[in-house]
Amino acid sequence: MNHEELIKQIAKAFCRIAEVLPRTELVLILYPTTPMRDAVAQLYAQIIKFIQKAVTWYKMGALAHAWGSIVKPWALNFQDNVEDIKVLSQRVDELANTAEKAELRDVHREISEMRGEMQLAHGQIESLRSLFGNKVEEILQIVTGIDIVLNLRLELELIITETRTLQQRMHLDLSDQTEMIHNIQLTEILSLSFMCNLPTSGESLGYCQSVRARDSVHTSYRLPELSTLEKWSSEPRSSMLLTQNSSTQTAKNFLVDLIVLIQQNKYPIIWALRFPNFWDKIPTYRDILRMLVIQAIQMNPSAISGPTPITAVHLREANNEADWLSILKRALTGIAQVYIVIDADLLSLASENSTYRATRMIEKFPEILTGMNVKIVVSMANINQEYVSKNWDPKVWSSLHTGTARRGGFNSRRKARRQRKIRSRVNRPGAFY
């Protein structure tokens, strides 16, 4: 228990340090005073000490970890460093507040000086009034008023220009820092060992498209049931589409074309498709979820830059399928409707060719991905139809049939003309809808 607590506290400390560093850098840019530089230097020194101690602890062996967890738990080994980092961070914030008050005091002082100058000018006007009479007094009032108005106008324009320039610089700096932090976080997530072994969305889709292009010489499929497809797509609740076809490859080709069609219509979609040599390393259900999580994060950048971002720590601590589904839900937060396509071969390998296990896996998606409209596409070959008929609500799933037509090997002109008509109908834009 001490060892687990130590690991969690170290991870939390690193997350807090990641939150402190961008804010500290911005404060140092705005108020580059000597006390501020000293305070930031002390904060960086404490962070470096903590990182050195944490790296030393991570390099220790299992026996040393076990013994250290008892002899030097979190409170004795790391807590002082974390508390020092917290105190120094608060000190930096206090110095920033003090500098802000000093700037405000300078503004008040300048206003007071302007009031003094105006009072002095008023005294001079009173003296001239007593010397030259009412006419001179009126002329001086007009001249003074014009001069004051012109000066105030020039000063106001200068202040407005400086304020706009400062706002633009601050906005650009914050935007650059936000984008840089987002890129760093995304790179850190994609560089995790269990993420590097997975294909990108473009790699898997490109592989399936190449297979589909080679197969299109021999087989084609007829139009699916339009009413079923349209009803499933417009259903306001989460639902599943179970595709059926007498040919396995034709069913896979239909999924590839369906993905391209959904992309062309600018709808959010993620998928887990086959990739080169996928059979060499048998994918698991977690691998499928990881592929979906990566695509969801890339599609929805606010998932790693919002108020509760997904970090590499969260991905490392995910122990089971439920944890990964929860992370997928967080990655899709803010998206009203999303399409999810899962390849039949990957699902068969992940479930060890058990349709019951595959069905149980698929039905967890709408159970956990609540608060959004999830449209799941999967082959009927992976589904236990007896289990579905007994346990699934008929309103949350639909089956879609696509017929198969053979090409090639016909010498008859009549059959050749018929095949050309089928090819032009299937391959024309919008053939599926």
Q: Walk me through the domains of the chain, giving residue ranges and CATH numbers.
A: 2-190 (no CATH), 201-427 (3.40.50)
> What confidence score (pLDDT) does residue 89 get?
85
User: For the chain, how many residues are written?
Assistant: 433
Query: Is residue 72 pLDDT above 70, yes or no?
Result: no
Q: Check whether 150 has a pLDDT greater than 80.
A: no
Angle formed at CA 412 by CA 411 and CA 415, multiple of 5 degrees = 115
The 3-state DSSP class for residue 339 equals strand
**Which of 25-39, 78-92, 227-241, 379-393: highest mean pLDDT?**
379-393
The mean-pLDDT minimum among 120-129, 160-169, 411-420 falls in 411-420
- Which range, of 3-7, 154-158, 255-259, 365-369, averages the lowest pLDDT? 3-7
**Contact of 314 with 328, CB cutoff 8 Å:** no
> Closest by alpha carbon to 341, among 372, 367, 378, 373?
378
- Over residues 324-347, the mean pLDDT reads 89
Q: 401 — phi, psi (to 5°)?
A: -105, 135
pLDDT at 416 over 50: no
With cut-offs at 50, 70 and 90, classify the pLDDT of residue 270.
very high
Asked if residues 24 and 76 have their Cβ atoms less than 8 Å apart, the reply is no
Q: What local confidence, expressed as pLDDT, does residue 30 receive?
A: 81
Residues 6+ apart with CB under 8 A from 75: none
pLDDT of residue 415 exceeding 70, the answer is: no
Is-contact 349 335, C-beta < 8 A?
Answer: no
Convert 32-66 to b/e letters by CB count within 10 Å (16 or more is b).
eeeebeebbebbeebbeebeeebeebeeeeeeeee
The one-character DSSP state at 221 is E
**Tokens coding 97:** 């507040």
Q: Say whether pLDDT at 263 is over 50.
A: yes
Averaged over 297-309, what is the pLDDT? 79
Average pLDDT over residues 286-307: 84
pLDDT of residue 411: 37
205 pLDDT exceeds 80?
yes
pLDDT of residue 340: 93
Q: CA-CA distance, 46 to 325, in Å (whole number)?
A: 37
d(CA 142, CA 136): 10
